[in-house]
Amino acid sequence: MAARAARGGPGLPLIVAAVGRHRRLLAAGIGAGLVWTGTKLAAPPLVTWTIDAGVLGGDTSQLWLGVMLFGGLAVVGAGFAGLRRYYGQCLAFVVEADLRDRLLAQVVRLPAAFHDRHPGGVLVARATTDLQQAQQPVINIAIMVSNLVMLVGAAVLLASIDPVLAAIALAPAVAVFAVAVRFTRRLGPRALDLQTRLGRLASTVDESIAGVRTTKGLGTENDERRRIHERAGEVQRAALRLNTVRATYQPLIELLPAFGLVGVLWIGGLRVAHGSLTVGELVQFSYFGLVIVGPLRIAGMTASQLKRAVVSAGLVAAVLDERQEASPRRPSPSPSPMPMPMPTIRLAGGGPTHSTARVAGGLEIRFEGVTFGYGPGRPVLRDLDLVVRAGECVAVVGATGSGKTTLGALVPRFYEVDAGRILVGGRDARQWPLAELRAQLGVGFEDAFLFSGTVRDNLRFGAPEADDTRLRVAVRLAGAQDVVAGRPGGYDAAVGERGLDLSGGQRQRLSLARALVADPPVLLLDSPTSAVDPAKEAEIVASLATVIQGRTTLLVAHQPALIALADQVVLLDGGRVADLGTHDDLLTRSPRYRRVLAAHPGGALPGDTHPDGVDRAVSVTP
């Protein structure tokens, strides 16, 4: 992928397609540039006529007319040069915004596995520095078109006067083009290296800011500063390598047009001396020589910008080409029943809580021979069978690494199973439209995440139509009344970035309330009380006893009070179902279950092992 990006890859087609969606701005910029070109092409012949007829011919009226016309051309040219730049900037900004919208829309639709592989800081770099680089040459499209037309027009005008002198005057354009081609070939790999290292730096900075409390708590500020300094040093060295290439070729781009002007003055001066060329015509050649210096310099600069832009756009295109999680997959062949009807249910205090229909009552969840791993050869779940009946609460217990959290993450298809299938409401999860599947699920993560905004905004995140009555009910059921009441403004109180101005327990309770606002038929809860104190835990457990009634609930837990809510408890070990029963039943007959609970009052200890092992998976069927 890196080699392809260095050669341009899909970057150039992406830029061309984005520009093509805004043809009016492009046409306006090119039109203004062509008028500017017309003024530049008209000026040298006007100068020739003014000198030959007005100055050397002694005709004062023609001299004044030439001066006035030249001044008028300068004013018109300046005005259209401004318009050319204005429309070019507008086009560049619109293209950048268009690509950023596409990129961000793609990022939120990519599967969790993609985000596992790509740090958030790298994606931030794709949406900022890479897109800024991609839009740079767009500004110069109208400029380059008008400059190219000017070079062609100058070649025709000068060739009509003296073909040899015209070739001398325009030879630098050919030389600059050859230099630019070689320049961009050397520039590509260095530009890719710089953009890659910028992404790594952005990722490191993002991680450092997110973990600032941990850094301060461990007293490792200096270590973190050194880590960022090393990444910044890598970016600096990559930028210097890129700059070295630019510095090598820039003198040639500056020098070659000067050689053309020297040749015109030498050969043209000799021709004027021999009478084969007028003074005005020599001035015209010299004037064109000076006029094309600017376009040739811009050509060199644009070649540099274009190569880096193509590389950056290629990195963006690589993200846009990733397969979205909603992409259809061929479901496992099965005699699955007909799709269930999906009527919209209405909640007390308002209309539907979500635009996507939800099924009334609980839905059965069935795992059939499910195998899954986060990488090849590293299965987390192995040939797992489990049934959670409609309206039933099943608690999932196991040591760290046994697959508890993974089990819940597979139901909403954050990841796709490697083998087997998951049925939701008797229907393969891969046959459900993704939005409809997730509309049936209320998900509460152990690491609760809140968005910047108000408390109300966060509670309505999954159900924007929910009214305040529904919010208050959900907050009460989640035991979060004191969180809302304790903040100035209540439901309108601001929540800081990631909710870090709240305690872990407060974030967890608001996250649980957010899941309940949507009133889903299925709840997937991962340690919903792990960050709260015992008194608050008892309150939440009491509320959950009401919440789970009539809902299908998959509950990852280790606290006995939470587990006691479950109709069935499944013990996972090594990615398989090791045992199944009620909490009291397993406490009585399963030493392994007792060890898991005893290992840590609030959860399994890292590295907890079970030497007595499991000889075979226990297939759980209704």
Residue 152 burial (CB count, 10 A): 13
Range 458-463, long-range pairs (CB < 8 A, 24+ positions): 458/495, 458/499, 458/510, 458/514, 459/491, 459/510, 459/513, 459/514, 459/517, 460/517, 461/514, 462/354, 462/514, 462/515, 462/517, 462/518, 463/353, 463/354, 463/517, 463/518, 463/519
The first and second tokens of residue 80, run together, are 């259209």
Domain boundaries, the chain: 2-320, 364-440+523-532+552-622, 447-519
The tens digit of pLDDT for each residue in 83-109 reads 999 999 899 999 988 998 888 888 888
Pick from 192-196, 273-277, 335-339: least confident: 335-339
**Exposure b/e, 325-364, CB count within 10 A at least 16 = b:** beeeeeebeeeeeeeeebeeeebeeeebbbeeebbeebbb
Residue 59 burial (CB count, 10 A): 15
Instruction: Evaluate whether 2-320 and 364-440+523-532+552-622 have a shared fold.
Output: no
For the segment 308-318, the average pLDDT, to the nearest whole number, is 84
* CA–CA separation, 496 and 489 (whole Å): 14
Q: Is pLDDT of 31 > 90?
A: yes
**Among 570, 554, 464, which residue's Cα sits nearest to residue 518?**
464
Task: Give the pLDDT band of residue 520 (cuts 50, 70, 90).
Answer: confident
Fold of 2-320: ABC transporter transmembrane region fold (1.20.1560)
Higher pLDDT, 220 or 245: 245
Q: Is pLDDT of 368 > 90?
A: yes
For the segment 466-490, the average pLDDT, to the nearest whole number, is 82
For the chain, report the end-to-end CA distance as a whole number of angstroms. 49
Task: Give the pLDDT band of residue 505 (cuts 50, 70, 90).
Answer: confident
Q: What DSSP letter does each residue of 407-443 carry, written as one string?
A: HHHHTTTSS--SEEEEEETTEEGGGS-HHHHHHTEEE
Q: State the pLDDT at residue 607.
A: 37
Residue 124 burial (CB count, 10 A): 17
* CA–CA separation, 41 and 47 (whole Å): 11
Pick from 20-29, 97-106, 455-464, 574-583: least confident: 455-464
Instruction: Give percent above pLDDT 90 in the chain.
Output: 11
Contacts of 217 (CB under 8 A, 6+ apart): none
Alpha-carbon dihedral angle through residues 267, 272, 276, 278, given to the nearest 10 degrees: 120
The first and second tokens of residue 2, run together, are 């890196």
Task: Give the pLDDT band of residue 54 (cuts 50, 70, 90).
Answer: low
Q: State the pLDDT at residue 22.
A: 92
Pick from 29-38, 213-222, 265-274, 569-578: least confident: 213-222
The first and second tokens of residue 55, run together, are 């100055």
Max mean pLDDT range (153-162, 191-200, 420-429): 420-429
Instruction: Give percent above pLDDT 70 in the chain.
Output: 83
| 364-440+523-532+552-622 classified as CATH 3.40.630.30 | no
- The predicted model scores a pTM of 0.63
Q: Is pLDDT of 115 > 70?
A: yes
Q: State the pLDDT at residue 601.
A: 53
Residue corresponding to tokens 């950023």? 100
Max mean pLDDT range (54-58, 118-122, 387-391): 387-391
Average pLDDT, whole number, for the chain?
Answer: 78
For the segment 561-579, the average pLDDT, to the nearest whole number, is 89
Domain 447-519 architecture? 3-Layer(aba) Sandwich (3.40)
**Among 124, 95, 92, which residue's Cα sits nearest to residue 107?**
124
Q: State the pLDDT at residue 187.
A: 73
